[in-house]
Amino acid sequence: MHRVLRTLTLAAAASLLLPLAAFAQTSSLAGVVKGEDGKPLKDAIVKIERKDIKGNYKTKTNKKGEYIHAGLPLGTYKITLEVEGKDRDVVDGVRTTLGDPKEINFDLHAMKKKQESLAAAAQSGTLTKDQERDMTPEQRAAMEKAIKERSQAMAKNKALNDAFNQGVEALKTGQFEAAVTAFAKGAEMDAKQHVIWAQLAESYMGVAKTKTGDEQAQVLAKGFEAYNKAIELKPDDSGYHNNFGLALARAKKFPEAQAELTKAAQIEPTKAGVYYYNLGALLVNANQTEPAGEAFKKALEADPNHADSQYQYGIYLIGKMPPPGADGKVSPLPGTKEAFSKYLELKPDGPFAESAKGMLAMFDTQIATEFKNPAAQKKGVKKK
């Protein structure tokens, strides 16, 4: 401010030729403007509007953020700070006096901090008395609205958590109807929670197992709708696609099931072996032999150490094996022995170990009786 005052002194010296009475009736305004970063703000415009008699004046800050306007008639003024074409702060009712300039500073950094503190306090409902006095009617209304919304949100979240936890417990214990009720309630409270829709879908699948005919079809349709909701909200969840695919398979919607399980494998390549195995399993159970073989082959391409896929691929190749030759020996297709051997290497005590050993032994044994395809005796393959 000393430099500002020196500037004012020079301006006053330059005006000594004016009548003394006229000089005595003028006043001045000066100050410093700081930006939101706390540094002096250059080229900010300070607009000065006289309140008692019509009059408008304007000045600009220098590189140090300083401004001064001398020669103002004594009076009451409204001072507005304009930055980049927008009014940023206002000081109203400033009465100038003779002598030294009236100092009016603007600090956008401090103002921003104050507004942030006020907003945070309003959100938390912990305003101090000073902060309450500083609030405008609009700010007070916004605070009251925020407090009301926060209270409603807290009550809603508690109710939502309660509904979700009730659904999880009911699903764990096989109380599928109760689980549907709980998760449906949660979905009504917050339709954007993908995990609620996924759990609701699983609950509907549980209910469908207890129904038949049209009643079962209606429950399955609701389950499929819930799966689609979950996937719509979180399309990159491979588990949702896998579970939806298995549910579609249970409803004998095999093309749709295959599409969902393929998506699951594409989203999470590290688990592609499991997802393609599940696809193969559901195709086997639907007597879709060739597509099943391709699915098991894809599972092994994704994960050669997926033991059950090795066994099932071996079974698929057995099904394509030609009948025994004249010498009574069988000729397995390339890859058949390797598949059963790999299974035994990975799971020597696995559920298919004895069957795999029998297959390998068969290849070195003459068959005197009519050949029977072992694959034709398999009743089903369990999914993972």
Integer Cα distance of 251 and 355 in angstroms: 30
The string of pLDDT tens digits covering residues 146-172 is: 667 666 666 668 888 888 999 999 999
Rounded alpha-carbon distances, angstroms, from residue 184 to 160, 168, 224, 258 = 11, 12, 14, 28
State the pLDDT at residue 344: 94
End-to-end CA distance of the chain: 79
- The pairing of strands 76-83 and 86-95 is antiparallel
Cβ pair 256, 227 in contact under 8 A = no
The answer to whether 38 and 61 have CB atoms below 8 angstroms apart is no
Residue 2 pLDDT more than 90? no
Helix (H, G, I), strand (E, B) or coil at 69: strand
Among the listed residues 29, 22, 25, 24, the one whose alpha carbon sits nearest the alpha carbon of residue 8 = 29
CB 208 within 8 A of CB 176: no
Amino acid in position 204 = Y
Determine contact, residues 347/340, Cβ cutoff 8 Å: no
Question: CA 375 from chain center: how many Å?
Answer: 46
CA–CA separation, 172 vs 317, rounded Å?
39
pLDDT in the model for residue 379: 46
Specify the residue for token string 């304007």.
58
Mean pLDDT lowest among 64-73, 219-228, 233-242, 365-374: 365-374
As a whole number, the mean pLDDT across the chain is: 83
More confident residue, 176 or 54: 176
- 91: pLDDT confidence band, cut at 50, 70 and 90? very high
Which is more confident, 311 or 325? 311
Phi, psi of 190 (to 5 degrees): -150, 100
Percentage of residues in the chain with pLDDT exceeding 90? 56
Residue 199 — pLDDT band, cuts 50, 70, 90?
A: very high
Beta bridge partners of 94: 77
Q: How far is it, in rounded angstroms, from Cα 269 to Cα 252? A: 26
For 88, the enclosing helix (H) or strand (E) is strand 86-95
- Parse the chain into domains and list their residue ranges: 2-109, 162-377
Residue 277 has pLDDT above 90, yes or no: yes
Which residue type does 150 have? R
Of the candidates 337, 340, 333, 335, which has an alpha carbon nearest to the alpha carbon of residue 312?
A: 340
How many whole angstroms separate alpha carbon 298 and alpha carbon 265?
10
From residue 347, how far is each of 52, 305, 383 by CA, in Å?
96, 10, 17
Q: Supply the CATH classification number for the domain 2-109.
A: 2.60.40.10
Place of tokens 């009016």: 104
pLDDT band with cut points at 50, 70 and 90 for residue 39: very high
The long-range contacts involving 304-307, CB below 8 angstroms and separated by at least 24 positions, are: 304/342, 305/273, 305/346, 306/273, 306/274, 306/277, 307/342, 307/343, 307/346, 307/347, 307/350
Contacts of 65 (CB under 8 A, 6+ apart): 32, 33, 34, 35, 39, 40, 41, 42, 44
- Look at residue 4 in the predicted model and tell me its pLDDT: 43
Whole-structure pTM over 0.85, yes or no?
no
- The single-letter DSSP state of residue 33 is E
Beta-sheet pairing, 106-107 with 55-60: unpaired
- Which of helix, strand or coil describes residue 32? strand
Who wins on pLDDT, 141 or 64? 64
Q: What is the pLDDT of residues 102-142, one digit of tens each?
A: 999 999 998 888 777 766 665 555 556 655 666 667 666 76
Q: Smallest Cα–Cα separation from 176: which of 207, 210, 199? A: 207
pLDDT band at 9; cut points 50, 70, 90 = very low
- The pLDDT score that the predictor gives to residue 13 is 41
**Is residue 21's pLDDT more than 60?**
no
Which carries the bigger pLDDT value, residue 139 or residue 218?
Answer: 218
CATH no. of 162-377:
1.25.40.10
Q: pLDDT confidence of 238, banded at 50, 70, 90?
A: very high
Res 174: pLDDT: 92
Q: What is the DSSP letter of 40?
A: B
Q: 20: pLDDT confidence band, cut at 50, 70 and 90?
A: very low
- pLDDT of 331 reads 81
